[in-house]
Amino acid sequence: MKKIIIDAHAKINLSLDVLKRREDGYHELEMIMQQIALKDVITIEERDAGFTIASNSKEIPLDQSNLVYKAYNVMAKKFNINKGIHIYIEKNIPVAGGLAGGSTDAAAVLKGLNTLWKLNLREDQLMDIGLKIGADVPYCIMGGTALAKGIGEKLTRLKSFSDRLILIANPGLNISTADVYNNLKLEKITDRPHTENMLKYIEKGDTELVAKEMKNVLEGVTIKENPILNKIKEQMISHGALGSLMSGSGPTIFGIFSDSTDLAKCEENLKYSIKTVLSTKTV
């Protein structure tokens, strides 16, 4: 039986702006996306028949609501393939954290099945299929550093912003992405990301300027309701982070550090009170 193993990296948002609410209910976004080394590992194995999922995580569904099932289903239907598949998800990315854990697993399955079933689809074709599963899936297929517009699907690759030291802190709060968007008062946002500046700083590779310019308009909703997130940001800054921001709709907070000793001290300190604290880097 054939088997393939694919890395599924998490993402952070170096910036996130919500421009408007569209008539179809989706939001028009402008975000800078960055992949990090933190990853799930997806093993896809051919079987005689059926579709099954297993995982080391008790926090994700193993039924048809798992995004890897949606990815398999869309590919099997589109290409009329009737082979059995078993998927094992080694889950390392905090679940429901704003790190696109489900989307990146789905992206890995699309890439894996493309290879396993010898479909020879180009990256842009896989990204079009990915959009049917979720708005973040096309970016997860592309990876690296990217500007995302539309609902997240209009992507422009940016100069790589790799090898920056990142500390992730997730207090395990239950945040609903839908609630965060519903509670966002667009007309009240005053402090927006300056995307043009961010693009310039990324092009220059200036870590300090990027870190100082980072902004996420959803912080206004999630942090207001969960002040502990602001405490984490303050701790990161007081331990020497160049900048600290919430990723996606939260609750994960990350910090960019220039000094690995500062990062290690901050990690040690946060570990006592925060559920998940991980050091990683941009890729």
Burial 109-143 (b: 16+ CB within 10 A, else e): bbbbbbebbeeebeeeebbebbbebbbbbbbbbbb
x/- letters, 217..256, toward ligand ATP (CB under 6 A): -------------------------------x--------
* Options 15, 34, 35, 66; binder of ligand ATP; rule CB under 6 A: 66
Q: Taking contact as CB under 6 A, which single stretch among the options 74-82, 97-105, 204-212, 265-273 is the one that binds ligand ATP?
A: 97-105
CB of 239 to ligand ATP, least distance (A): 25
φ and ψ of 278, to 5 deg:
-140, 140
Q: Give the CA distances from residue 147 to residues 13, 64, 135, in Å, rounded to whole numbers and listed in that order.
A: 10, 31, 14
Of 282, 254, 281, residue with least CA distance to 266: 254
CB nearer to ligand ATP: pick between 228 and 237: 228
Q: Taking contact as CB under 6 A, which single stretch among the options 63-71, 213-221, 225-233, 238-246 is the one that binds ligand ATP?
A: 63-71
What angle is formed at CA 256 by the lines to CA 250 and CA 259, rounded to 5 degrees?
150
Of 10, 6, 5, residue with least CA distance to 252: 10
CB of 279 to ligand ATP, least distance (A): 19
* Options 38, 44, 100, 165; binder of ligand ATP; rule CB under 6 A: 100
Cβ-contact 231, 262 below 8 angstroms: no
Does 75 participate in binding ligand ATP (rule CB under 6 A)?
no
CB nearer to ligand ATP: pick between 152 and 242: 152
* Options 44, 68, 107, 155; binder of ligand ATP; rule CB under 6 A: 68
